[in-house]
Chain A
Amino acid sequence: QKEVEQDPGPLSVPEGAIVSLNCTYSNSAFQYFMWYRQYSRKGPELLMYTYSSGNKEDGRFTAQVDKSSKYISLFIRDSQPSDSATYLCAMIPNTGGFKTIFGAGTRLFVKA
């Protein structure tokens, strides 16, 4: 079983739609959960981070963590064509440290 699983998509939605992106993981030691956005030919850019379980909202973005199910989500409200990118979930264990584990990324297309 992969440590972090993420559906690669692609996911295509019309402008204004609510987008739901998800990851599952197997390592119960993960405590820090992040979402990165990656545009074509660019490095990942941190969007959201959450510690342990719960929700976090930032503008049109909401991150959710359900540690009991080992499942994390990113919701994008009122999606825009500029949101078209690859979204990577990422995790760090509760021991902290230097190594971030990434999911494979989901490609999102928002059509105008």
Chain B
Amino acid sequence: EPEVTQTPSHQVTQMGQEVILRCVPISNHLYFYWYRQILGQKVEFLVSFYNNEISEKSEIFDDQFSVERPDGSNFTLKIRSTKLEDSAMYFCASSESITGTGGAFDEKLFFGSGTQLSVL
């Protein structure tokens, strides 16, 4: 069964350092997402990406964050200067299409197993 793959599973970094989290979405999917989950809190939307550009982002996704699809298979999240509060589990997700209007539910998100980011 196809799956979303994330690497590394755990990343430890010093405050102020740059990190890149990597994801390989399911191959025929067109929409890509990053969500994060701070320990004990809800899963929060960060950003969605389609057709090589950001389609939507949350207020969490500030200038310190960026996403890229450097080739036909990888999807990355970069945090330029990490802060303590960036410590969280970061999930990559992909979907074949998105939900439009009128009842057709197409946004079946497939999540990776996550990267646990610890900022010290």
Contacts and interface: CB of A to CB of B under 8 A. Distances in A.
7 contacts: A32-B107, A41-B113, A43-B4, A98-B107, A101-B45, A102-B43, A103-B42
Given A96-B100, A100-B45, A105-B42, A45 B105 contact: no
Contacts of A41: 113-114
Interface of A: 4, 31-32, 41-46, 49, 51-52, 88, 92, 94-105
Contacts of A102: 35, 42-44
Nearest to B95: A98
Interface string B85-117: 000000101000011110101011111111000
A74 B41 CA distance: 20
Residue among A43, A49, A95 with max Cβ neighbours from chain B (10 Å):
A43
A32 B102 CA distance: 10
B101 A96 contact: yes
Contact of A43 (B31, B55, B100, B111): B111
B58 interface: yes
A38 B44 CA distance: 14
Interface in B31-52: 31, 33, 35, 41-45, 48, 50
Contact of B99 (A97, A103, A105): A97
A43 B25 CA distance: 13
A52 B103 CA distance: 8
A43 B90 CA distance: 9
